[in-house]
């Protein structure tokens, strides 16, 4: 795959050079058998050690699909009814109320929800939860009432009011953190332990965890802030907590990118891994299909905390759906990604896609805030486009 290597290497060189650059990037492509491209460029920290393929990243919301997989396993075993109240498995979720704004004194106006939250709603992001960097209401709760950021990985960070009655619309938020709590309630173990036994070990995924080993910590990339003038500043004191109070199924994992490629391959291979099956083929088949009920739809993510996120959207103008638990593009994307492919992203500008139709997928990892960084996001789209061009050319040859 010389053309693929040359094209992707050129993208990586381009984004790590010049005044507007990313500090460093690791990017990989896999087919059903194994990795077919792996590249690293730039530095783990500006002016520091070189970025390498075994660099450890905070993968943020690319954690979600792994927590979703743990829940799907519970469904397969008859332990989880997606349409039962989620409080059956995670009682604390049943105590949460809907916020209808703030009164004249600035206090939250709360009421009971009209219906119970189900795990299906949680997996589809229709339960009513948000994020403070995408929701003005949650931002105000954080600023005026001390609602902790989900980055704190605390129980208080997820026991938040609902933005609307469960099931009413799609709103991206802390839903999958609650899916993790559902899994813990069913299994009687911490989510990280469940993932290790039932996903990571069967797939041979070693360097991935909610808490880094000393060796992983030594190879971790530093998150950088993109400043208003376009420059970068290392955020040496900012990181997801090791030994968190809650194993956050929505965003808490650290990993090397070669380990995540093993997870992508499992989805390309209908749930099979090198050391055993993770999901049944029929589960994979329905779990990757968009499941929102119109008028529910995936919308643009409005960045309301500029230091954490820009306004962000994949493929503006194209219809997008949500599955268990991925974004599904309903139309062919400009990169070449076909309708029905799945993927998502992580807050520090990591992005991946899984194209089961064509049998390959990729991951692009940087560590930059805010989300939707024009240089990293643009580089990712160039990387995906270059991959499709090279793969199409190779198949035509």
Q: What CATH number does residue 20 fall under?
A: 3.40.710.10
Report the C-alpha gap between 328 and 322 in whole angstroms. Answer: 5
Final residue belonging to a domain, choices 166, 184, 202: 184
> Do 304 and 226 have their domain in common?
yes
What the block records as the tokens of 119 is 């795990």
> Do 120 and 69 have their domain in common?
no
Contact (CB, 8 A) for 110 and 100: yes
> Do 177 and 200 have their domain in common?
no
Residue 96 belongs to domain spanning? 81-184
Q: How many domains does the structure of the chain reveal? A: 2
Closest CA to 176 of 96, 90, 283, 259: 90
> Do 163 and 200 have their domain in common?
no
> Do 166 and 217 have their domain in common?
no
Q: Give start and end residues of each alpha helix (H) in the chain.
A: 2-15, 64-76, 119-124, 136-145, 155-158, 175-187, 191-195, 201-203, 214-218, 257-268, 281-287, 374-396
pTM strictly above 0.85 = yes
Q: Supply the pLDDT for residue 206.
A: 97
> Do 384 and 290 have their domain in common?
yes
* Ordered per-residue pLDDT tens for the chain, 397 residues: 789 999 999 999 999 999 899 999 999 999 999 999 999 999 999 999 999 999 999 999 999 999 999 999 999 999 999 999 999 999 999 999 999 999 999 999 999 999 999 999 999 999 999 999 999 999 999 999 999 999 999 999 999 999 999 999 999 999 999 999 999 999 999 999 999 999 999 999 999 999 999 999 999 999 999 999 999 999 999 999 999 999 999 999 999 999 999 999 999 999 999 999 999 999 999 999 999 999 999 999 999 999 999 999 999 999 999 999 999 999 999 999 999 999 999 999 999 999 999 999 999 999 999 999 999 999 999 999 999 999 999 888 7
Report the C-alpha gap between 89 and 142 in whole angstroms. Answer: 27
> Do 178 and 262 have their domain in common?
no
Closest CA to 224 of 367, 52, 397: 367
Final residue belonging to a domain, choices 184, 206, 227: 184
Q: Supply the pLDDT for residue 346.
A: 98
Final residue belonging to a domain, choices 184, 208, 233: 184
> Do 20 and 64 have their domain in common?
yes
> Do 165 and 202 have their domain in common?
no
> Do 302 and 336 have their domain in common?
yes
DSSP calls for 251-274: T--EEEHHHHHHHHHHHHTTTEET
Closest CA to 184 of 155, 143, 217, 213: 155
> Do 200 and 341 have their domain in common?
yes
Q: Supply the pLDDT for residue 295.
A: 94
> Do 277 and 367 have their domain in common?
yes
Could you give the strand order of the β-sheet that contains 35-42, starting from the edge strand earlier in sequence?
Answer: 35-42, 24-31, 360-365, 350-355, 342-346, 327-329, 320-322
Residues tagged active-site: 61, 64, 172
């Amino acid at each position: 795959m010389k053309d693929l290597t040359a094209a992707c290497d050129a993208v990586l060189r381009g984004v790590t050079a010049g005044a507007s650059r990313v500090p460093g990037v690791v990017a990989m492509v896999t087919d059903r058998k194994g990795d077919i491209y792996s590249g690293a460029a730039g530095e783990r920290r500006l002016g520091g050690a070189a970025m390498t393929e075994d660099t450890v990243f905070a993968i943020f919301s690319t954690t979600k699909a792994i927590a979703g997989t743990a829940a799907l396993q519970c469904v397969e075993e008859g332990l989880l009814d997606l349409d039962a109240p989620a409080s059956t498995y995670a009682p604390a979720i049943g105590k949460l109320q809907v916020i209808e704004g703030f009164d004249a004194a600035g206090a939250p106006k709360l009421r009971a929800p009209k219906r119970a939250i189900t795990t299906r709603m949680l997996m589809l992001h229709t339960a009513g939860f948000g994020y403070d960097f995408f929701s003005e209401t949650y931002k105000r709760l954080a600023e005026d009432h001390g609602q902790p950021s989900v980055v704190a990985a605390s129980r208080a960070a997820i026991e938040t009011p609902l933005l609307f009655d469960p099931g009413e619309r799609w709103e991206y938020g802390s839903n999958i953190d609650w899916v993790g709590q559902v899994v813990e309630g069913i299994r009687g173990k911490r989510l990280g332990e469940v993932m290790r036994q039932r996903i990571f070990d069967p797939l041979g995924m070693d360097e991935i965890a909610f808490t880094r080993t000393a060796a992983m910590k030594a190879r971790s990339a530093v998150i950088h802030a993109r400043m208003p003038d376009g420059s970068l500043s290392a955020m040496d004191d900012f990181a997801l907590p090791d030994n968190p109070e809650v194993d956050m199924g929505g965003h808490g994992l650290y990993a090397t990118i070669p380990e995540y490629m093993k997870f992508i391959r499992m989805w390309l291979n209908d749930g099979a891994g090198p050391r055993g099956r993770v999901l049944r083929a029929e589960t994979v088949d329905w779990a990757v299909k968009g499941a929102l009920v119109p008028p529910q739809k995936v919308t643009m993510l409005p960045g309301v905390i500029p230091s954490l996120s820009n306004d962000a959207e994949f493929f503006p103008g194209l219809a997008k759906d949500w599955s268990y638990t991925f974004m599904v593009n309903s139309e062919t994307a400009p990169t070449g990604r076909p309708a029905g492919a799945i993927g998502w992203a992580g807050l520090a500008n990591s992005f991946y896609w899984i194209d089961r139709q064509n049998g390959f997928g990729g991951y692009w990892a940087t560590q930059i805030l805010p989300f939707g960084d024009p240089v990293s996001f643009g580089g990712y789209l160039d990387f995906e486009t270059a991959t499709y061009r090279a793969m199409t050319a190779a198949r035509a040859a």
